[in-house]
Structure 1
Amino acid sequence: MAARLPQVARLILFTGPNCSLCDVAKLELAKVRQSHQFDLEIVNIQDKGQERWKKKYIYWIPALHLDGREIAKGRWDASTILESMKQRKAALEAQEEVV
């Protein structure tokens, strides 16, 4: 049985210091937040304890996860997030139909 999606989307943005693409990513997330509710966690891959993410994304920040699944890395924009949110909504509605 597949895990149920939470009602509110959970996004994790993986960033680093002095990252201009990360600044752009934050602006793109702000655009999405105007029409979609979500929880956002920002993880600096250079922080202590983030070695796993640093190894994975050292050359690919900003990276973005939606409900624990990678949906974007490198250069992306609001349309990338919106498409994933649309797919998430469809999956959530399908789960509700099964119940």
Structure 2
Amino acid sequence: MAGRVGRLARLTLFSGPNCSLCDTAKAELAKVRQRRPFNLETINIQDQGQERWKRKYVYWIPALHIEGKEVAKGRWNAQTVNEALDTWERDPWTTEGTKKP
């Protein structure tokens, strides 16, 4: 679990306004958070300064990163998040998305 690696996973949700899939993704993350803790940052890809993410995810929100690595985009659910967190907890990767040496 997260305690084994000494810290909570850092999740980033890439979202947008008037996005029903994003609303669903937020609800799925809330389900996961009821059973396991994590840090969450939400980025609205339409905000000023988020042009990089808008170019990348304009057709693929909601997108989810764990520690900087994309783990889901488009339609996903709590099971997807739990599986990605399980993988990260077993073998944490760095924020660049690569495995630690």
Same fold at TM > 0.5? yes
Aligned pairs (5 A) from 1:61-72: 61-72=61-72
CA–CA separation in structure 2 for the residues paired with 1:41 and 1:60: 18
Query: Which stretch has the larger CA shift, 32-41 or 83-92?
Result: 83-92
The alpha carbon displacement at 1:91 in A equals: 1.1
CA–CA separation in structure 1 for the residues paired with 2:89 and 2:15: 26
**Which is higher, the Rg of structure 1 or of structure 2?**
1
Q: Deviations over 1:35-86 (max 9, x none)?
A: 1110000000000000000000000000000010000000000000000111
CA–CA separation in structure 1 for the residues paired with 2:27 and 2:88: 21
Gaps of 5+ in 2: 93-101
CA–CA separation in structure 1 for the residues paired with 2:62 and 2:6: 24
The alpha carbon displacement at 1:6 in A equals: 6.3
Query: Paired residues, what number?
Result: 88
Q: 1:85 to 1:16 in 2, by over 3 A?
A: same
* Runs of 4 or more consecutive aligned structure 1 residues displaced over 3 Å after TM superposition: none
What TM-score comes out, normalization by structure 1 length? 0.85
Identity of aligned residues (%): 61
The alpha carbon displacement at 1:7 in A equals: 1.3
- Aligned residue number for residue 22 of structure 1: 22
- Aligned residue number for residue 47 of structure 1: 47
- Aligned residue number for residue 37 of structure 1: 37
- Aligned residue number for residue 96 of structure 1: none
What TM-score comes out, normalization by structure 2 length? 0.84
CA–CA separation in structure 2 for the residues paired with 1:30 and 1:6: 22
Query: C-alpha root-mean-square deviation of aligned residues, in Å?
Result: 1.2
CA–CA separation in structure 2 for the residues paired with 1:69 and 1:89: 14
SS at match of 1:33: helix
